[in-house]
Amino acid sequence: MSSQFAVSEVPADAISALRFSPHPNSLRFAVASWDKNVYLYELADGKVCTQLAKFEHRAPVLDVCFGKDDNEIYTACLDWDVRRIDVATGTQTVLSTHDNGVRSVVYSKEHSLVVSAAWDSTVHIHPGGEAEWSTATINLPFKPFSLAVSSSKLVVAMANRALHIYELKTLASECKSSANSLQNRLDIEPWQRRESSLKFMTRAVDCMPNDEGYASSSIEGRVAVEWFDPSNESQARKYAFKCHRQHVDDVDVVYPVNAIAFHPIHGTFATGGGDGVVAIWDAIAKRRIRIYPKLAASVAAVSFSSSGKYLATAISPGFEDGKDELVEGMIGIFIRELAENEVKRKTK
């Protein structure tokens, strides 16, 4: 039986993002909150979780990700800025400024790129580490809602069910080559343009660790699993399923699926819904592996540790579960130690 414990020090306001460090053997995770702070936690022995640092911003922070190592984190803030934070010194560097709130930020270690997406319908691509070139901007047709990177691809999920897939390699080379052009507008065609297989607003997207595809979720309790490979064979494999629903008096109450996270080793993925439930799925076998007891509020974020041994779940009330009143105890971060085969694909 897996054990789950709640982190004691939690943000004062709703949690917007939670991400475990992707670096091997790291048990750190960062949490972005609407209370304008980014928190850094470290898990010790799987039982104790301590808050290492807190980085204050001018506005609510909507997303956070780790950079090239645990000392570097990037934040997407509602004050339109994308920042790099040096954990050791606590210094914040503004990488670029969008024309609206920044929704997501991701880091590709393979190509050393920081990609941010903002509600001004642009994606900014920043060089990770030392700047050999300045930030490049890609215009999007719609507002982006979620970003995800795999080792070779960048997936941008937007409003109107649009979805663009970029090849990071192309992006990196384009950025370098157009480094000195004016305004740094990149007129780059996405590698693929897709329409979401879900009929409703895309909520979250994450890429498979094996770089073969991605899963996206919508506000209408559904998750789609798709493959990058444009061949008909691969495209025929894509599917979608319903989840995070509750049957109440003949009415199917449908919750948004707020978070998706792939397990770094097993390739299964977790979804967190507005119903406060986290479920583990096997994308290949199309099976649900596990469903965890309902939590007190909507699940805002889920993340697996790099070792795959821990699953962190952040809950906070919000529009997702129909409540907008903040109640004590509704915000929480739960760490679940996963048993050996708990989220492993069943071999049968």
Q: Which residues bind another protein (CB under 8 A)?
A: 1-4, 14, 16, 34, 58-60, 62, 78-80, 97, 101, 103, 119, 143, 145, 159, 199-201, 203, 219-220, 222, 245, 247, 250-256, 258, 274-275, 277, 290-291, 293-294, 318-322, 339, 342
How many residues are given for the chain? 348
Q: At closest approach, how far in Å is the CB of 255 from another protein?
A: 5
Tokens representing 328 are 């004590």
Task: Match 């400024």 to its residue by tokens.
Answer: 97
Q: Residue 171: is it exposed, middle or buried by C-beta count within 10 angstroms (0-12/13-18/19+)?
A: buried
Which lies closer to another protein via its Cβ, residue 229 or residue 252? 252
Which lies closer to another protein via its Cβ, residue 116 or residue 258? 258
SS3 142: coil
Distance in angstroms between the alpha carbons of the first and the last residue of the chain: 22
Which lies closer to another protein via its Cβ, residue 76 or residue 188? 76
The strand pairing partners of 274, in sequence order, are none
CA–CA distance, 252 with 83 (Å, rounded to integer): 41
Q: CA triplet 258, 262, 265: central angle to 5 degrees?
A: 160
Q: At closest approach, how far in Å is the CB of 211 from another protein?
A: 27
Tokens representing 275 are 């119903």
Q: At closest approach, how far in Å is the CB of 294 from another protein?
A: 4
Q: At closest approach, how far in Å is the CB of 164 from another protein?
A: 17
Q: At closest approach, how far in Å is the CB of 94 from another protein?
A: 9
Q: Residue 218: is it exposed, middle or buried by C-beta count within 10 angstroms (0-12/13-18/19+)?
A: buried
Which lies closer to another protein via its Cβ, residue 175 or residue 343? 343
Which lies closer to another protein via its Cβ, residue 153 or residue 222? 222
Which lies closer to another protein via its Cβ, residue 4 or residue 178? 4
Q: At closest approach, how far in Å is the CB of 209 from another protein?
A: 23
Tokens representing 33 are 């909150």
Q: Is 20 left (phi over 0), alpha (psi -120 to 50) or beta?
A: beta
